[in-house]
Structure formats: C-alpha cells, structure tokens
Amino acid sequence: MSVEHRLSEVRSRMAKAAAECNREPESISLVAVSKTFAAEDIRPVIAAGQRIFGENRVQEAQGKWPVLQAETTGLELHLIGPLQSNKAAEAVALFDVIETVDREKIARALAEENKRQKRPLRYYIQVNTGLEPQKAGIAPDDVSAFVRLCRDDLALTVEGLMCIPPVDENPGPHFALLAKLAAENGVERLSMGMSGDFETAIGFGATSVRVGSAIFGSR
Ligand SMILES: *Cc1c(COP(=O)(O)O)cnc(C)c1O
C-alpha cells in the first residue's frame, strides 16, 4: 500500500471517529510523525497534502527538515520528543510547536530563546498522566502551577496539553484526565492518540493526534 493511500486511510478513520462523537473533523489536526524516516520518504506525504509533521529528536530533524521547508512553504513542524536545555536554541530555530515542555528549566530556556531569536513558538505541556517514573512530564497535581508559571511569568503561548499513556494500560482514562486538566486550566488543545489509539483519543476530545507508523509504515 502506498504512503498516499495510508495517509488517506488515516484521514478517513479520523473523520469517522469525529462523526461518531459529533465533532467537526476540521477541528482535529493530524501530526504525521516522520521520525526515523528520511526526506525522500517524507516528500510523497507532503505531495499528498500533509502539512503538519512531528519529530522526536532535534538533531535528526535538523538533518532533513531545512531542505523540505525550503521546497514547500506552509509546513508546520512539531517537536514531540524530550528536549535538553542545551538544545533549546536549535529547537526554537527549527520547530514551530514544542509539545514536550516538562520542567521549569526548559521552560525558562525556551522563553529566553523566543526573545533572543524573536520567534515566539507555540507550546504544549507534557503531562505524565500515569506517573511513570521513567517517563517525562509534569505530574497531574502540578499542572496548574506549571501552566501559570509558563503563561504568567514566562509569557509562553501555552496552546495545549500532551500525554503518552502507559503502553500496557487502557488509554481512555489517561485521555479523560488530560481533557479534565486542560478544561480546569483554560488550555484549549489536546495532543493525544497515536497509531494504535487515535480514534479513542478523538472520542475523549483530542484536537490533534500524532500518527507515525499507520502513515509511514513500521520503524
Ligand atoms: C513515535 C511517536 C508517536 C507516533 O507513534 P506511532 O505509534 O508510530 O503512531 C506519537 N507520539 C510520540 C511522542 C512519539 O514519540
């Protein structure tokens, strides 16, 4: 099956899931996760009309996106993987949205780079809904204070919350918790759902889903 075909398949599954919960399909965006795939694998997806992409490593993204961005205007690049503060400058220079703001140190480094580079990016706070020790993210109880710090003290544009539920659990309760935290904190967007569970995430209010293997094939 071609990558164009898989992309349209994902889009129609998203539309069907939206219709099933009476949501507008246009209110849900698709972040095509292109990590590990090369520029030549990504080009057909851009040619098929996809404009929003996600990468999980700054260095890997630097190796392929500048050339793709030069070829096509209007691309939007999301960082969906962990960010070290010594990479903040490079991340702000390359990405449009950073979905993995997960601690004060990185929030401060990003705020500084936004000012220095005059590139005010949009941000998501990553929430560790399963309180997994090995996983990044703000604990649910600390989300309010952290959103306030980012917005009020650092003037970051906090557009949404993001989560990656524990692999071995039913994701529904995690998506529900993320939606509740967003509502309580006046945060509009929810980045949740991947190839295996994006329809479930749409049912719980996802405004964007991050889909890799269902589009690009297995990694
Ligand atoms: C890789 C990745 C995805 C996409 O996963 P698939 O199962 O391939 O759809 C989504 N979100 C994050 C944070 C990822 O690292």
- Helices and strands of the chain, counted as H and E runs: 9, 8
Distance 215 CA to ligand 1 centre (A): 11
Ramachandran angles phi, psi of 86, nearest 5°: -75, -5
In whole angstroms, give the CA distance from residue 11 to residue 95. 24
Residue 29 sits at φ, ψ, to 5 deg, of -100, 155
What residues form DSSP beta bridges with 65?
none
Which residues lie across from 126 on neighbouring strands?
162
CA distances from 152 to 55, 101, 149, 155 (A): 28, 15, 6, 6
* Confidence (pTM): 0.97
Q: Evaluate: CB of 35 within 6 angstroms of ligand 1.
A: yes
Using a 6 Å cutoff on CB, does residue 32 contact ligand 1?
Answer: no
Q: From atom 13 of ligand 1, which residue's Cα is the shortest distance away?
A: 80
Question: Which stretches does DSSP call E strand in 57-140?
Answer: 76-79, 97-101, 122-126
Measured CA angle at 86 (ends 81, 92), to 5 deg: 65
At residue 162's C-alpha, the angle toward residues 72 and 159, to 5°, is 65
Q: pLDDT tens digits, residue range 199-215?
A: 999 999 999 999 999 99
Are 126 and 99 in contact by the 8 Å Cβ rule? The answer is: yes
CA neighbor of 39 nearest in space, from 6, 77, 91, 11: 77
Atom 5 (ligand 1): residue with closest C-alpha? 212
CB 157 within 8 A of CB 120: yes
Closest ligand 1 atom to 198 CA:
9
Q: How far apart are CA 155 and CA 163, in angstroms?
A: 22
Query: Per DSSP, which regions of the chain are E strands?
Result: 29-33, 52-55, 76-79, 97-101, 122-126, 157-162, 189-191, 208-211
Closest atom of ligand 1 to CA, residue 214: 9
Sequence letter at residue 56: N
Are 193 and 200 spatial neighbours (Cβ–Cβ below 8 Å)? yes
- What's the gap in Å between 196 CA and the centre of ligand 1? 9
Q: How far is the CA of 210 from the centre of ligand 1 (A)?
A: 6
The closest alpha carbon to 161, from 124, 211, 135, 136, belongs to: 124
- Tens of pLDDT along the chain (219 residues) come to 899 999 999 999 999 999 999 999 999 999 999 999 999 999 999 999 999 999 999 999 999 999 999 999 999 999 999 999 999 999 999 999 999 999 999 999 999 999 999 999 999 999 999 999 999 999 999 999 999 999 999 999 999 999 999 999 999 999 999 999 999 999 999 999 999 999 999 999 999 999 999 999 999
Q: Which amino acid is at 1?
A: M
Report the residue among 3, 7, 33 best suited for mutation to probe ligand 1: largest number of ligand atoms under 8 A from its CB: 33
